[in-house]
Amino acid sequence: MKRWLILGDILAIAIVTIIGFATHGEVGLSYVPRMLTTFLPLLAGWFITSLWLGLFETEASLRPDQLWRSVLAAILSAPLAATLRGFMLGTSILPIFVLVLAGSFALGMLAWRALALWLARRHRL
């Protein structure tokens, strides 16, 4: 189960990143390097906070009443990711970016983790 959660988390972060860039009309191979400056910090922030919140333990991953942990981990990881991104790009960190990143990332991870929960229960993973 843990392996599928990790792979799904990485895919969900990639999808959230791509959707974020698409909302700005920035989709294509030429944007991949810039996408990585969002994807990699978000990935790092997610795994730091998700490990801290126990999101890969069976208790947290197989119970619907524990889905709030995914939302909290996403919200907590957004400021860290934005800070890392700012350092990578050598730019300031806009508070509105952090808020939008936190909200969209929380929604994306909640959707993925709810789907993972449903799949695990349906297929008894």
pLDDT digits (tens, 9 = 90+) for 43-94: 999 999 999 999 988 777 788 999 999 999 999 999 999 999 999 999 999 9
What pTM, to 2 d.p., does this model score?
0.89
Residue with tokens 């989709």: 27
pLDDT digits (tens, 9 = 90+) for 97-112: 999 999 999 999 999 9
Q: Cβ contacts of residue 28 below 8 Å, gap of 6+?
A: none
Number of H helices, E strands in the chain: 5, 0
Mean pLDDT of 32-39: 92
Work out the pLDDT band at 27, boundaries 50, 70, 90.
confident
Question: Hey, CA dihedral for 77, 14, 103, 108, is it positive or negative?
Answer: negative
Work out the pLDDT band at 125, boundaries 50, 70, 90.
low
